[in-house]
């Protein structure tokens, strides 16, 4: 998948595969070599790593200027403080989907389901930088369904299949599901039980009707084919490693 992505944007990708018995010291030495190589502009540390390898220690060894996945502590601090730097790719993709779909974020109520350092927390910080009012939910959140139903924008970033059902989403909300779980099927299971991109707001009841018809979810998954609107949100306020704004 990385090879196809690199080819699509005209980048050269070199995969360095090490033996499964490689330890933290050996991997750290290889990262230092890549940091010093002027021909290398970006470094990705692919997980999962061999048992016993300290992933946090290795992420800290990646030079911030080459930390294209935003995995190092320096990148995390820059994100927290709103300074230029790389951000985790999936969290940045969430913001790009919202931007491309024209979803207004300033003043919106955003709920992020998941608090990982890879997606949940970075996505929450990016949404906050876009002037959304952000709530982060996790496995200890009480009455989770009631919290998520308040969201104008719901970002699902958990590895639990079909956790979020129709009762978790209010009519008119935008849902982005980036949570996947490996399964025996051809495709990994997503975290939403009903694939939807945006649910239409219910129409006002007519005088002849006793109640409005319930909203129906669309047939396309939100994280893959979002709907579009005319208005566009402002830039999220962060920049990539070259200083270009991330919208």
Q: What is the mean pLDDT of residues 32-57?
A: 91
CATH T-level fold of 89-190 = Rossmann fold (3.40.50)
Please indicate whether the domains covering 2-81 and 89-190 agree at the CATH topology level: yes
Q: Name the residue ranges covered by the structural domains of the chain.
A: 2-81, 89-190
Q: Specify the pLDDT at position 21.
A: 83
- Distance (Å, whole) CA 177 – CA 157: 7
Per-residue pLDDT reduced to its tens digit, 125-183: 999 999 999 999 999 999 999 999 999 999 999 978 888 888 999 999 999 999 776 66
- Whether 223 has a pLDDT exceeding 90, the answer reads no
Percent of the chain's residues with pLDDT above 90: 52
pTM: 0.72
CATH T-level fold of 2-81 = Rossmann fold (3.40.50)
């Amino acid at each position: 998948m990385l090879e196809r992505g690199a080819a699509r944007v005209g980048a050269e990708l070199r995969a360095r595969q090490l033996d499964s018995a490689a330890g933290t010291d050996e991997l750290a030495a290889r990262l230092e070599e890549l940091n010093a190589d002027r021909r290398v502009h970006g470094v990705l540390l692919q997980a999962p790593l061999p048992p016993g390898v300290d992933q946090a220690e290795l992420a800290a060894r990646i030079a911030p200027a080459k930390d294209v996945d935003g995995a190092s502590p320096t990148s995390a601090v820059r994100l927290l403080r709103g300074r230029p730097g790389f951000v985790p790719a999936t969290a940045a993709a969430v913001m790009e989907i919202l931007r491309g779909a024209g979803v207004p974020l300033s003043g919106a109520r955003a709920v992020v389901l998941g608090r990982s350092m890879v997606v949940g927390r970075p996505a929450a910080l990016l949404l906050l930088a876009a002037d959304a009012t952000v709530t982060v939910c996790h496995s200890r959140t009480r009455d989770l369904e009631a919290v998520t139903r308040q969201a104008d924008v719901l970002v699902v970033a958990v590895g639990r299949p079909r956790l979020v059902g129709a009762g978790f989403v209010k009519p008119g909300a935008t849902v982005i599901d980036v949570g996947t779980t490996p399964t025996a099927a051809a495709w990994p299971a997503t975290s939403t039980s009903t694939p939807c991109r945006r649910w239409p707001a219910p129409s006002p009841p007519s005088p002849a009707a006793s109640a409005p018809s319930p909203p129906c979810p669309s047939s396309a998954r939100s994280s893959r084919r979002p709907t579009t609107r005319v208005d566009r949100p402002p830039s999220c306020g962060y920049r990539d490693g070259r200083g270009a704004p991330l919208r």
